[in-house]
A and B are shown apart, each in its own frame.
Chain A
């Protein structure tokens, strides 16, 4: 898989079609076909159709809101992970970082008997610092991100358990539900709105907002161009004056920010946190981004694609339940579903490139 066949998209610049009428005429369709998320949209439609047929309760409004909630908990993290992948890097510590962020917030509030917002604020700072640590270490040592973040992954896993047991004496944190500021923080991170019979979790709004912001950054700002350039070819990017180091550190801090949002959601919806959770979730985020059309090699992808990838994941994982299949086969179906979606994705993109 080389980047050459998938040039970074520069949507701000219209097709350089010169005076050729035919090219001008085709440019809209062509632009649509060249979008990285097109394949995943087709895949999502296929998965949706499949479960609509095999699982009767799947199409109910209440079920769809459950599916959307499941998608949003993956999707919030898939957005910055996709950006990071476009920038050519991985973050294996992302899953555990979510739990770290929740633990910090809970323990700071409880131990200092402070307003929970103090914990939330401290948690934001510390989590961003972990992200910056990842980015700094990566750019300073020039080691692969796989190694750096694998190290952070293990360290955070150990710190989560070590600190929680040291401070709380047990493996989960104390409840903070009776503390000042809990209710307002819960409104922001873990409330849900009821529209008729449908329950909309606030994480869905966070998710949509993050997708919108990330898409705006990617497509409408200079930073977006930097991200594509850094992921496409870091040396060439540096040569033309792109701040490669800053961009990469920024991308890791973006992951940290989303980890903070997800972590606060965990904390304020469950009010006590298990220190062992989160391990393995980093792969779900990476899968969502990859299914959504982000290249594993960097330089190509979109935030909307990652959102669609998370949605496919949400549909597949919950659709299997709605279909009342034997859970022994759950992982197999999940894997097959993801593989099919990715293949379809790749096929559509290839066709699109041929046409273009």
Chain B
């Protein structure tokens, strides 16, 4: 038994892949993060509370950014998330109870977070808002806001679609009830010269996403562009397009390894990235700067991390970064 195992192991080592796989990933990871603090300020604790659901790629990248900044700044970084507004605010409250030294909060449902952000101010905990809530951030008393203006990002999509000569586009919303999603589609509608329709799909149910897009493409052959609002849905849209035998170009908001590959091989037209890594990294770094040096960035205006339009020519360079989870 042992001999068989050893032989199998030996064979697999000899025939190991020189591209990709765990070992390549470990090598990349070792190169990426040094893992040592670059400063000798006290070990402050910063907490981040987002409206992310479970297992969300986007927020994973935000966390990666925050964690790397935390390592560099000698910060203890803790993270909590809940998609339900009430429980998100309860999470923030429990970090206030723990007297953390700084808070990073996303305001996807701003009304629900107003009181608890005020409580943090009262308790003397500096707050930085990320991702969503650019309009409310300052009014709630946060130091700065770091994120992408969703309407501006949507407008960038509309313009890019014009540039590519598209006439009829589909905007696929994968989360009913998300204000940011509506703003993205509305922004695209504003600048797009053609006709843009909305399609709601159940984002937590991929087969449903695919079949919904598929049936929409089958029922309307004039559609020549599909815009998904999240990276994981782009690949699904490509499948739906193939199944439906449509000629539509698939474009997407946000970026991941699959999207980078898709851009490179031409199955995707373009991606609009809001650089989530920056949102996490900058939030921690700016909190540190505030604690260390009372620095505030943005002068009361949101610090924008996007939109950045990514096409085939950028894809090759970004592929590695998406694989290590920082783009």
Contacts and interface: CB of A to CB of B under 8 A. Distances in A.
Interface of A: 57, 60, 62-63, 66, 69-70, 73, 161, 170-172, 175, 266, 269-272, 274-278, 281, 317-318, 321-322, 324, 326-327, 331
Given A171-B178, A172-B177, A276-B175, A327 B90 contact: no
B95 interface: yes
B179 A322 contact: no
Interface in B31-70: 54
Given A63-B97, A321-B95, A70 B177 contact: no
A207 to B, nearest CB: 15
B91 interface: yes
Contact of B177 (A272, A276, A326): A276
**Interface pairs A-B: 7 shortest CB-CB:** A276-B177, A63-B97, A272-B111, A270-B112, A57-B98, A270-B111, A171-B177
Contacts of B80: 321, 327
A324 B78 contact: yes
B109 A274 contact: yes
B94 A66 contact: yes
B79 interface: yes
Contacts of B96: 62
Most buried by B among A63, A272, A327: A327
26 contacts: A57-B97, A57-B98, A63-B98, A66-B94, A69-B93, A73-B86, A171-B177, A266-B86, A269-B115, A270-B85, A270-B112, A270-B114, A272-B111, A274-B85, A274-B109, A276-B175, A276-B177, A276-B178, A277-B84, A277-B85, A277-B177, A317-B87, A321-B91, A321-B98, A322-B94, A324-B98
Interface string B111-137: 110110000000000000000000000
Nearest to A192: B115
A175 B135 CA distance: 15
A66 B179 contact: no
Contacts of A63: 94, 97-98
A281 to B, nearest CB: 8
A171 B179 contact: yes
Contact of A69 (B81, B90, B114): B90
Contact of B93 (A66, A172, A274, A317): A66
Given A57-B99, A63-B98, 9 more contacts: A62-B96, A62-B97, A66-B93, A69-B90, A171-B177, A270-B109, A276-B176, A281-B84, A317-B87
B182 interface: yes
Interface residues of B, number: 29
B182 to A, nearest CB: 6
Interface of B: 54, 78-81, 84-87, 90-91, 93-99, 109, 111-112, 114-115, 175-179, 182
A199 to B, nearest CB: 9
A321 B96 CA distance: 11
B177 A275 contact: yes
B174 to A, nearest CB: 12
A60 B178 CA distance: 35
B76 to A, nearest CB: 8
A328 B194 CA distance: 43
Contacts of A57: 97-99
B111 A175 contact: yes
A18 B260 CA distance: 82
A321 to B, nearest CB: 5
A168 to B, nearest CB: 11
A270 B182 CA distance: 20
Most buried by B among A57, A269, A274: A274
A70 B82 CA distance: 13
B142 to A, nearest CB: 18
B316 to A, nearest CB: 31
A25 B227 CA distance: 76
Contacts of A66: 90, 93-94, 97
A175 B79 CA distance: 30
Nearest to B109: A274
A270 B90 CA distance: 13
A327 B47 CA distance: 12
B120 to A, nearest CB: 13
B79 A170 contact: no
A80 B94 CA distance: 28
